[in-house]
Structure 1
């Protein structure tokens, strides 16, 4: 009888071998040959060497990306990279940023991993949170003496396959975790192992947890300031081009905008950091594009300065090209509310492709007058989406002026507290459809958004159940400026739907989540009835409570989202209306040429089609 030959078991691959295979797969599937060549060239020219290991240091990355020193964000950013560089073995973080680790980092931060790993933004969001977080007990024990998560990995230790690293503080479980808190699978990590057919390596590994982890408030503030600056960046633009945004008053405005963003996640006076549950609930609603700027920033590694594309294979210089025009500024017009920082803030929840270099100031209360007539003239001919911004100061609970008292008299009695402690308020709305007069129903669609920018950034997406998105109604000429039916509102019922209620109570109907400006544009009110259901806009994901802010309007702006084509259509419409107005003005009745006068009136639409223009004789 023969005996089957025994085969020796194959040793499982090491963590380093799996990481190398994943990096090679990312390099093959996610980069062009030119991009990969540039990355290797940049790494070769910039990397330090220690005990035969080539790696990036913090100052190297910061200097290459031109991170402004005044932001003090370099340690935060480098710790983030060191964590992601350990992917998919996150329990081994922080990683030494060698070439393979940089391939993984760039692939994930630029979202190129989608070409290999079929996972959505939810998984990347969890990974980004972990890369910024520390364990809260250690944070409280530090007491601010040392920056959380500031330790760098030592290159020699990371090259050993047997060394056990302590990892980031976020990876350590806490004693205060509930017993039934199951450790969730990181599906993005799982997808990486599946792509390499190494599922067993994941199942037997030590997947890091997010329970008890938090992002320190100060770290997140610094990162948000950087994200505000890089939001409009193109892949080949240098960050130093935006150096004017980190000096003087611009820096203070940048810091103020970052504070509004930070206030969405936590009250810094009550909590030292951001927990994942809050982070995961808020980012998809209020900041779906928060980290988009990192893609353009880290694509800089894929462009080598040593690569001269101007040379031809035959050695001859290329033909002379027509000089390219200077790129348009990020913001073509100057507004009182909208500046570069607010523009970047808007890009956190409105695609930047609709904003940067595409916004035009259609209406400004300061320039055009605070009247609905001026608003209509400037805005109604724009055939593309618009953004309305209004800034004001909170008024006292007890009205102390005549106009303020008149406005308060049209509102239901105050039931809710203020939404914040700050008296400076900025609200806005994104309207995807052209503006029109509101008769029996509101206009707008589910692309509409109601939002607050200051002092707390908050976004209220449109609902599909209630379509009271936007309303523009002029008051009757015999009514006061604060009369029912007059003004601009978002989330409030149309006048026809609420007229009976107004006649009965003498107050307007405010939507559960709504913004109302009176017809004189003097006062406004924002209402957030969190306990109600069925409004045109969803309630806040960040502030689960009822509040109402009444304010006196200081600035009001409407910006058109569009390029030259939209502006040309608007200009043509304005020109047509000007010609029509001139034709009407020049109609000279009683000249004796009755037929000519009648023809002019018909062209102007004043007579004909069952309308009478009066006697022509």
Structure 2
């Protein structure tokens, strides 16, 4: 870039490079209608001073309808003021003129992927920088500590000691991780890679204040189901009373994945990137639809076009009534938990597509009712179980009887919170298992409360899920545990064989146990990346639900199966059997088509 005929090099300024990059984004990331709409929106909102048009914090908050009660407007403005300087973060905060807003939109809507081939996988590090603050005191202390260690030659502490949360441990941070892939890719796209330089504070000495991240998570929970051009004000009912309390509680569970707020005031880069990559890959997806609002102008009138096409248009049909995000609320699943699930399960599989198949509170806590309600669903399902931790040693006979089926407890509880919520996402239909487990590598085992975490399936160990009934010893539902052996080969093993990372529910659905044996190195599900320790939660089941992921087609298929089973049961009830003539009873059953051929009506003896 840059050498004229005189041989003198021309130093391109960051403003010129940013302008050139904004021009490229403008041409390739927006269609003409979107660009026209954005120009109209920007100029209708902008304040002017000395021939400069710009957007202010309260203007952006009002336009995006960000609720005041969340106290997150200043955090959003901090983020966009940083992103507006992209790819030169050292210039932030920046005045939000037209070109900086172009930068903000391409990042927040992920349209940069249309231009940047390299470094376009995610925007996580960029968003960390946008939210983080530099801790100068910590940096000075760390520098002094390193200097002292060098002077007196103190050896490094052994690395095999497990202290708990990964974010609680001192991390060796690779300075190469400071590279901003998006910024490098952006400068490379305009042949100006040499212009990249780090003037930002090192990420290792920066952190996101915990309270700020909590407020942002509350907003992300609120906007997770937001569709293109849907108003955020439509969710105002979630910002009062019990629903607001639930929003805060859910945000606390997610925040606990990043940091132990009782020990540390902020979230470090290592914890931030680790948690998002493993447990919250879709955390920031709600920003896409929220910032799309800038690309839709209410001043554009399409009525004339509609009127001119009215004569040739087919007869009008009744408008489609929009389905609610969640057709019914369960004892565990509500709108806040639904948004939490969408942070690691694609929202297209969740919002307006979940159906409550089984609830223990309604259908009864039994494997029979579970089987009747769930087994005919031919699409993915989500099981959720909530309960309260039982004491060790147990308080009563029922707790003691359950504990006797387990090996003596040698792992501590996962936390001080008594209530726990776990879940499983299964892409394969349910069925009874006799010798081996079912499920596939898409199976997810997760915890929602008091700490949010997702445990991904191994591709080697396939003990994903089992549904066993007597006479198999220790019947019940298990995830991540080896399939129990038949009674004849079980030997004298008195205890349930728990997997390294597993969730087991007993056959009466009274008790459950979640085990995380970090020392063993994992089994059907991988170990935690943030809680590097052994722990086990034994709990009394309070609520158990199974939700089907699917639409009308899956529901219709399930209805047909239920209808057929009901007819079969009715046919059995109407046959006059049991009078002592076994051969006559068998003949009646054969005539009804219930036994014989390839069917079996059971033993008559």
Using structure 2 for the length normalisation, give the TM-score: 0.89
Which ranges in structure 2 are unaligned for 5 or more consecutive residues?
A: 141-169
User: 1:469 Cα shift?
Assistant: 0.6
**2:82 is aligned with 1:83:** yes
User: 515, 537, 558: which is aligned to 1:527?
Assistant: 515
Q: In 2, distance between residues paired with 1:236 and 1:485?
A: 52
**2:365 is aligned with 1:366:** no
User: 241, 258, 281: which is aligned to 2:251?
Assistant: 258
Contact 1:511/1:536, CA 8 A, preserved across alignment: yes
Q: What is the aligned partner in structure 1 of residue 567 from structure 2?
A: 579
Greater shift, 128-137 or 367-376, is seen at 128-137
Q: What is the aligned partner in structure 1 of residue 99 from structure 2?
A: 100
**Aligned CA distance change for structure 1 residues 497 and 97 (closer, same or farther; 3 Å):** farther
Q: What is the aligned partner in structure 1 of residue 56 from structure 2?
A: 57
Q: What is the aligned partner in structure 1 of residue 526 from structure 2?
A: 538
Which ranges in structure 1 are unaligned for 5 or more consecutive residues?
A: 142-175, 477-482
User: 197, 215, 224: which is aligned to 2:191?
Assistant: 197
Superposed, 1:158-307 pairs within 5 Å as 181-182=175-176, 184-202=178-196, 206=199, 209-307=202-300
User: 1:606 Cα shift?
Assistant: 1.9
Q: What is the aligned partner in structure 2 of residue 439 from structure 1?
A: 434
Contact 1:498/1:508, CA 8 A, preserved across alignment: no
Contact 2:499/2:515, CA 8 A, preserved across alignment: yes
Q: In 2, distance between residues paired with 1:265 and 1:613?
A: 55
**2:600 is aligned with 1:607:** no
User: 1:289 Cα shift?
Assistant: 0.3
Contact 2:119/2:185, CA 8 A, preserved across alignment: no
Q: In 1, distance between residues paired with 2:124 and 2:300?
A: 34
User: 1:609 Cα shift?
Assistant: 5.0
**2:311 is aligned with 1:312:** no
User: 1:9 Cα shift?
Assistant: 2.2
Question: What is the aligned-residue RMSD (CA, Å)?
Answer: 2.8
- How many pairs were matched up? 569
User: 1:475 Cα shift?
Assistant: 2.9
Q: What is the aligned partner in structure 2 of residue 494 from structure 1?
A: 483
- CA offsets 1:322-355 (integer angstroms, 9 cap, x no match): 3422210000122110000000000000000000
**Aligned CA distance change for structure 1 residues 441 and 93 (closer, same or farther; 3 Å):** same
Secondary structure at 2:234's aligned position in 1? helix
**2:554 is aligned with 1:560:** no
Q: In 2, distance between residues paired with 1:423 and 1:295?
A: 37
**2:474 is aligned with 1:485:** yes
Q: In 2, distance between residues paired with 1:472 and 1:485?
A: 11
Q: What is the aligned partner in structure 1 of residue 337 from structure 2?
A: 342
Superposed, 1:104-183 pairs within 5 Å as 104-119=103-118, 123-137=122-136, 181-182=175-176
User: 1:138 Cα shift?
Assistant: 6.1
Q: In 2, distance between residues paired with 1:253 and 1:607?
A: 56
**2:468 is aligned with 1:469:** no
Q: In 2, distance between residues paired with 1:30 and 1:450?
A: 38
Contact 2:394/2:403, CA 8 A, preserved across alignment: yes
Q: In 1, distance between residues paired with 2:228 and 2:56?
A: 22
**2:443 is aligned with 1:448:** yes
User: 1:583 Cα shift?
Assistant: 2.0
Q: What is the aligned partner in structure 2 of residue 160 from structure 1?
A: none
Secondary structure at 1:312's aligned position in 2? helix
User: 1:185 Cα shift?
Assistant: 2.5
Secondary structure at 2:226's aligned position in 1? coil
Q: What is the aligned partner in structure 2 of residue 510 from structure 1?
A: 498
**Aligned CA distance change for structure 1 residues 573 and 47 (closer, same or farther; 3 Å):** same
Q: In 2, distance between residues paired with 1:34 and 1:14?
A: 31
Q: In 1, distance between residues paired with 2:542 and 2:306?
A: 62
Secondary structure at 1:390's aligned position in 2? strand
User: 299, 312, 322: which is aligned to 2:317?
Assistant: 322
Contact 1:498/1:509, CA 8 A, preserved across alignment: no
Secondary structure at 1:384's aligned position in 2? coil
**Aligned CA distance change for structure 1 residues 138 and 79 (closer, same or farther; 3 Å):** farther
Q: In 2, distance between residues paired with 1:492 and 1:412?
A: 14
Using structure 1 for the length normalisation, give the TM-score: 0.87
Contact 2:326/2:335, CA 8 A, preserved across alignment: yes
Q: What is the aligned partner in structure 1 of residue 166 from structure 2?
A: none
Q: What is the aligned partner in structure 1 of residue 167 from structure 2?
A: none
Secondary structure at 1:218's aligned position in 2? helix
**Aligned CA distance change for structure 1 residues 371 and 611 (closer, same or farther; 3 Å):** closer
User: 1:179 Cα shift?
Assistant: 11
**Aligned CA distance change for structure 1 residues 614 and 303 (closer, same or farther; 3 Å):** closer
Q: In 2, distance between residues paired with 1:613 and 1:217?
A: 62
Q: What is the aligned partner in structure 2 of residue 479 from structure 1?
A: none
**Aligned CA distance change for structure 1 residues 68 and 614 (closer, same or farther; 3 Å):** closer
**Aligned CA distance change for structure 1 residues 615 and 21 (closer, same or farther; 3 Å):** closer
Q: In 2, distance between residues paired with 1:291 and 1:343?
A: 15
Contact 2:586/2:604, CA 8 A, preserved across alignment: no
Q: In 2, distance between residues paired with 1:615 and 1:196?
A: 81
Secondary structure at 2:518's aligned position in 1? coil
Secondary structure at 2:498's aligned position in 1? coil
